[in-house]
Amino acid sequence: MTSSNIEFIYQNKIFKIKNPDSNETLLNYIRTKLKKTGTKEGCAEGGCGACTIVLGELKNNEINYKAINSCITFLPTLQGKQLILVEDLISKDGSLHPVQQAMVNYHGSQCGFCTPGFIMSLFSMYKKNSRFKDSEIKDSIAGNLCRCTGYQPIIKAAKSLKNKNKIDQFSNNKKDIINLLKKINNKSIVIYYKGKKYFAPRYIMELKKILKKNVDIDFLSGGTDLSLIVTKERKDINSIIYMNSIRELDYIKNNNKYIEIGASTPLIELESYIEKYYPDFTKILKRYGSPQIRNVATVAGNIATASPIGDCLPLLLSLNAKVVLQDLKKTKIFFLDDFFISYRKTKLKKGQFIHSIRIPLPKDNTFKAYKVSKRFDDDISSVCAAFNLEIGKNKVRSVRIAFGGMAAIPKRAIYCEKILSNSIVTDEIIYKAKKALEKDFKPISDMRASRSYRMEVAKNLLEKFCVEIKQKKLIGVYF
C-alpha cells in the first residue's frame, strides 16, 4: 500500500498529516502545529538535547522507546511510530511521571530550558532498562547540555529511579499502542509537496524502482548529517529517499567469517552487538555523538559522508571491512581501503546505494581503538586511531593501522605498518614507527586541533597501543 499521508500515534490515537513538507523538522511541527512548546530549540544541529523527544517503534512485537533530536528529524519519518512529548508524561489525574518527580525531588532544574530534554532522555532510559548502572545514567544524558543547574542534581534524580516500580501510563497502555502501531505500520510513502519529492519504501525492490526514475536523489538514513543542509545551511533538499523505512536493511548477522550490518541498522544496535567481538569498537561508539544520535545514525551514513573525522571509518579500515553496494541490477563489493577517493568523495555512483557493511570476525588478531576530542562526550574527534594486530611466533605477523583526522580522508598508516610488520617490537622499532607517521600524514590545522598537535597525538596513541599490548603480555616477550 502506498500513501501520501503519514500516520503516527499521538496521545493514544492515530494522527494523520496529509502531504507534509518533507523538509519540515519534527521540532517545528511539534511547536508550531501541535502547539506543544515544552520541547525546546537550542542549537538546531543535534548538539544540545533541548529538543529531545521519544519515539516508540515496534520491534519484535515490543515498543522500543528511542530518545531522538527532533530538530534534525524530518517530519515524514514519523510515519508508523508513536510520538511522546514531555507534556505527555503527566498522567490524566495530573500527577507527574516518576522521572519528572525525581527531577523535582532532587532540584534537577533551574532556568528549565534544558529540563524537558533531560526528562525525555531519562524517560527513554527508564522505559528501556529495569535496572541501570551509573555509567548508563551518564550515557543516557550525554547528549543533553545544562548551563545552570549542573549535572550532579540530575544524576542524583536519575539514580533515585533505580529499582523503582516501572508501571506507568505507558506500560498500562502498551497493548493498545502495539495494536495501533501494527495498523499503521504497513505502508510505503510517496509525497509530492511544492516541487519536493519524498519516498519511504518498505522493500529493496521498491527502492530500486524509485531509483530507476529518480537517479538524482538524496538518501536519508538517520539524517544526522543530511538534515543539517536544511537546519544549518538553510537550503532545501528536493528529492529524498528514506532508507530507514526498509526493514530488510535493518539487521546484523554473522556467518562465522564476517559480521554483516544492514545499511539501515542504527549505531546503537551495533554498539551492543559488536562488543563481544571487538570491545574497543563499542568503546568508540559510546563516545559517538549521543544516544539521540546513535538511535538513528547508521554506519552506512558515516561511510557515505566520508568525513575525514568519521569515527567508524578508521576502525573499519583497520579491520579490513568491505562495503556492499547495489544499483538496479548489480551488487559490487569494495574493500573500504579502495572506497575513499578524496575529501568526501567515494566510489559511490549515482543510482547506487550502500546495502551493507562486512567486518571480518576476529581470529588471532588484537584490535584497539582510541578517540581524542576536546570534550569526552558528544564531540567530533580531533584524532581517532585504530590498530589491528596479528602476532606470529616470534614477531608481529601483520598490522593494520588507520587514522581519522590526519588527512583529507580516513587513511591507513602504510609506512608505519611496514616498520612494525614482521618485527620484534623493541623501543627502537616503536621510535621508527612513530617517525614513519610523519611520512604517512601531513595533517592540517583547524578549529579542532593544530597540525603539530595532531601529529603528536597520533604518535602518542601508537606508543600507547604498544604499551597496552605489552601490559596485556600479548607481545611482552618481544620488548
* Phi/psi at 368 (5° precision): -135, 145
The residue (of 72 and 324) whose beta carbon lies closer to ligand FES is 72
How many residues bind ligand FAD (CB under 6 A)? The answer is: 31
Question: At which residue does the C-alpha cell 519484535 appear?
Answer: 60
How many residues bind ligand FES (CB under 6 A)? The answer is: 23
Query: By CB neighbour count within 10 A (0-12 exposed, 13-18 middle, 19+ buried), where does 331 fall?
Result: exposed
Is residue 220 near ligand FAD by the rule CB under 6 A? yes
Is residue 297 near ligand FAD by the rule CB under 6 A? yes
Stretch that binds ligand FAD, among 9-17, 173-181, 303-311, 388-396 (CB under 6 A): 303-311
Strands 322-326 and 252-254: unpaired
CA distances from 134 to 49, 156, 162 (A): 20, 10, 10
Stretch that binds ligand FAD, among 175-183, 213-221, 425-433, 448-456 (CB under 6 A): 213-221
Is residue 311 near ligand FAD by the rule CB under 6 A? yes
Q: Which residues, listed in sequence order, are joined to residue 402 by a DSSP beta bridge?
A: 386, 412
Is residue 56 near ligand FAD by the rule CB under 6 A? no
Mask 393-432, x = binds ligand FES (CB under 6 A)?
----------------------------------------
Strands 258-262 and 353-360: antiparallel
Is residue 115 near ligand FAD by the rule CB under 6 A? no
CB of 404 to ligand FES, least distance (A): 23
CA 318 distance to own-chain centroid: 20
CA distances from 273 to 263, 267, 276 (A): 15, 10, 7
Is residue 110 near ligand FES by the rule CB under 6 A? yes
Is residue 262 near ligand FAD by the rule CB under 6 A? no
* Phi/psi at 194 (5° precision): 45, 55
Please choose which of ligand FAD, ligand FES, none residue 113 contacts, taking the beta carbon within 5 to 8 angstroms, the exact cut-off set by kind: ligand FES
Helical pair 115-128 and 152-159, crossing angle rounded to 10 deg: 30
Please choose which of ligand FES, ligand FAD, none residue 51 contacts, taking the beta carbon within 5 to 8 angstroms, the exact cut-off set by kind: ligand FES
Q: Does residue 83 contact residue 113 with C-beta atoms inside 8 Å?
A: no
CB of 143 to ligand FAD, least distance (A): 7
* Phi/psi at 203 (5° precision): -130, 155
Grid cell for residue 270: 551495533
CB of 292 to ligand FES, least distance (A): 7
Strands 218-220 and 239-242: parallel
Binding positions for ligand FES, rule: CB under 6 A? 41-44, 46-51, 69, 71, 109-115, 146-149
Binding positions for ligand FAD, rule: CB under 6 A? 45-47, 72, 218-226, 243, 263, 288-289, 293, 297-298, 300-302, 304-305, 310-311, 348, 353-354, 380
